Chains A and B, each alone.
Chain A
Amino acid sequence: MSLLAVERLNKAFGGVVAAHDVSFAVERGEMLALIGPNGAGKSTVFNMIGGQLPPDRGAVLLEDKAITLASPQERFRQGIGRTFQIAQAFHSMTVCENVQMALISHHRESRAIWTEARQHHRRDALDLLSQVGMAEAADRSCSVLAYGDVKRVELAIALAGEPKLLLMDEPTAGMAFRERAALMDLTHSIARTRRIGILFTEHDMDVVFGHASRILVLLRGEIIAAGSPAEIRENAQVRQAYLGNAPALTGAP
């Protein structure tokens, strides 16, 4: 049984096909990268798995249970966490409160009105923050953090739901070069130790080839290749369609 199985997903906007018979699986503990040029349908596929977009046809199964039409809230309860391309945190709250909020929701306490939110799960929140290296910033406002740090907080928020599957949409977009590797190393070790399956999209090929255990290549809504980084690097079709465009253009050194 795969952790996540995506079966023949289809989606069209007007006449434009954004996803055609997309099928793949994510296993526990692996980091699966979904790559492709702009407009290939990455976001569409991603949002159909995250619950932001209903597919026209096809199914999404988490541990064999169909969640094709479940809302994002239900998916969270089933064990899907996610981070966003543009980091989304609660900027009016402190770093710790951000994670506490996620824990409050995870423990189904978001309707409580007689207790103080600040007193809920603070220790667990600090625990998660130290895992992503943000414990020292716990009481700072999220709005003053550097962008890379917001991404870390977002990761802690996603982990608060004890996810089985983590969806990361361009996890390193907008980050400085050195921060990228650090964040992906962190993500990688979390995936391994917690046996979380990670599906991510990414533009930076160094990040993709440096961290993915498997890669899916999407082109015009269809998966044209799937395999290990080495296999994808050698795949002629992928090189022609996506990776190899620069040298092919000019013959530059």
Chain B
Amino acid sequence: MDLSFVAIQALNGLASASSLFITACGLTLVFGVTRIVNFAHGSLYMVGAFTAATLVPWMLELWFGPVSFWLGIVISALIVGLLGVVIEVLLLRRIYGAPELFQLLATFGIVLVLQDLVVQIFGPQDILGPRAPGLRAPVEILGRRFPSYELVLIAAGPAVLAAVWFVLRKTRFGTLIRAATQDREMVAALGVNQALLFTGTLFLGAFLAGLGGALQIPRVAANTGMDLSIIAECFVVTVVGGMGSVPGAFLAALIIGQLQAFGILIFPKSTLVVVFLLMAVVLAIRPYGFFGRPEILGGTHAVGIASRKPMARGTLLATIGIVLLACLPLIGDPYLLKVATEILVFALFAFSLQLLIGVGGLVSFGHAAFFGLGAYGSALTVKWLGAPMEAAFPAGLLLAALGAALIGAFVVRLSGIYLAMMTLAAAQILYAIAFQWVEVTGGDNGIVGVWPSNWVAGRSAYYLLTLALTVITVLFLKKIIESPFGYALRAARDSEPRAEAIGIAVRQQRWLAFILAGAGAGIAGSLYAFSRGSVDPSLLGIPTSVDALTMLLLGGIQTIAGPLAGSAVLHILRDQIMPLTSLWRLFLGLSIIGMVLVFPRGLVGTIRQWGEDRA
């Protein structure tokens, strides 16, 4: 490794650090003032890239020159800024006081909506933007050629940092933003219109996301997958830097840029692993990142399961329900059985998440990690060891539980929004590994030929196996919820200082909960793998995690039966909407947003509330 190579790698690292910082800076600013982690920030970045990739060529045709190019970039960013304003006025304004879980889900609804809108407006193809006039020739550095556009990018990061610093430190708007970051209520009491301040902040944040995206067009083709990949990186940057801290984001982006540039030499397949290690080290030493502060946390915790009198005839009703489900194969409709199997699998998946969220108050946003680990654990055992299903099931469960033990070990140090973002990032890393480690995991194509043993090869038999395993696992988890262990977990959710003061080892308790929930999700994942005969990386993806959350929320997080109802409703909705329209993501997104705004207690929770109100 000679000096010039090191220098070029370092410069590459600086260029990606700049891009990352510009985007992440917007996320951290918006969080600082509104306390909302805007999941759709990555989508704004994507819209910026698509807009610029469409607008800039058009402007260059009108008048070819650097001015057109850069003007096009800035206009694209401004358009995204206005989009941010629309989002703030229509949605965010209504959920500032909502539990953080709802905030994250609602902004994820925007992600879905924008994914479909982008395809509608710009088409499904990737769009590579033009190169910048005047910056087409590479420069020579220590005898190696280096793209001159990258040099401009390297300068752009510090320039944005300086501009943001100026706005925050030297303008009245910035002073008000910093004041509001600390105490919104007092700012209002001093006569400041918060709504305007928040809208302004969203404009600034979205503008930066748009700028980050627009600046990418000569390097990366605008594509429909860039929203979720950038948001995971932005989460890492803001968490490592400290939520709400702009200098922290800059420092974190610098370090991560270099780690990625040089990490590629150590882990050529997945530089994210290096980033993950960095994050683990930083958060182990400083749980709130470089410059973050404990008091700056997101929205309130969602309320979860509470003590209530056992429902009259509950056992009887449950037994009848199980018997009815067991009779389903008698109808003999194979499609119905396939759907019913999936509903059961996802109900189990959502139910395992209930232990973390509803009982433990741990808003895990990466539960797909354990679902996917269960599926891959089984599939890999079948593929590489030639093991039968009976051996592959425990292997899947074991891998999921081990993964949960590893991820849980360091996320239980965190709370609230930090925990949500870290679990999401951890799941994204597993996703990247499954995607990139082609020799073992089959990459994008996944693993096929994961079929059940002969005795359950029939659709009915597999359905009954799924039903049995689901019922057993759900009953086991329900037992846990009502055991001293579950109560202690709830105690720590209700009041952490109180739980510690009565001698409950809160972190260990939560860590064990992660392992149990992970194992539960792992069983669901294994069942899913054998029901489809294959696995692929999408099982580990953000949409899978959000599916679990949506089902949980749809059913209601205060209830034990909620996830089961949520899973059924979501599947039926999806089965009904998907064939009708190509815009199902848009509809799903709008439904999630609507659900958060209209049914914050979930379906079962809302129905029960009606019952209690009448009583």
Contacts and interface: CB of A to CB of B under 8 A. Distances in A.
A76 B501 CA distance: 6
Interface stretch (A5-13, A83-91, A123-131, A230-238): A83-91
A193 interface: no
A92 B483 contact: no
Contacts of B495: 88-91
Contacts of A45: none
B483 A105 contact: no
Contacts of B59: none
Given A141-B306, A161-B503, A115 B494 contact: no
B483 A113 contact: yes
Contact of B484 (A73, A115, A160): A115
Interface string A90-123: 1111100100111011100111111111101000
Interface residues of A, number: 42
Nearest to A108: B503
A52 B497 contact: yes
Contact of B502 (A106, A112, A141): A106
Dominant secondary structure at the B interface? helix
A40 B499 CA distance: 28
A234 to B, nearest CB: 36
Given A52-B497, A93-B494, A97-B487, A102 B502 contact: yes
B502 A92 contact: no
Contacts, number: 114
Interface residues of B, number: 30
A29 interface: no
B512 interface: yes
A111 B484 contact: yes
B498 A76 contact: no
Given A90-B491, A92-B306, A92-B490, A117 B501 contact: no
A72 interface: yes
Contact of A101 (B306, B479, B491): B491
A71 interface: yes
B306 A117 contact: no
Interface in B489-536: 490-491, 493-495, 497-505, 509, 512
B437 to A, nearest CB: 36
B488 A50 contact: no
A157 interface: yes
A157 B483 contact: no
A73 B503 CA distance: 4
B122 interface: no
A77 B503 CA distance: 7
B408 interface: no
B490 A90 contact: yes
Contacts of A115: 483-484
A90 B484 contact: no
Nearest to B359: A92
Interface string B302-343: 011111000000000000000000000000000000000000
14 contacts: A88-B501, A92-B304, A92-B306, A92-B493, A92-B494, A100-B487, A104-B484, A110-B485, A111-B488, A114-B479, A117-B487, A141-B306, A141-B307, A160-B502
Given A84-B501, A113-B480, 12 more contacts: A71-B500, A73-B500, A88-B495, A94-B307, A105-B504, A106-B503, A110-B488, A112-B484, A117-B484, A117-B487, A120-B484, A157-B498
Minimum-distance CB pairs A-B, first 4: A76-B503, A88-B498, A92-B306, A110-B488
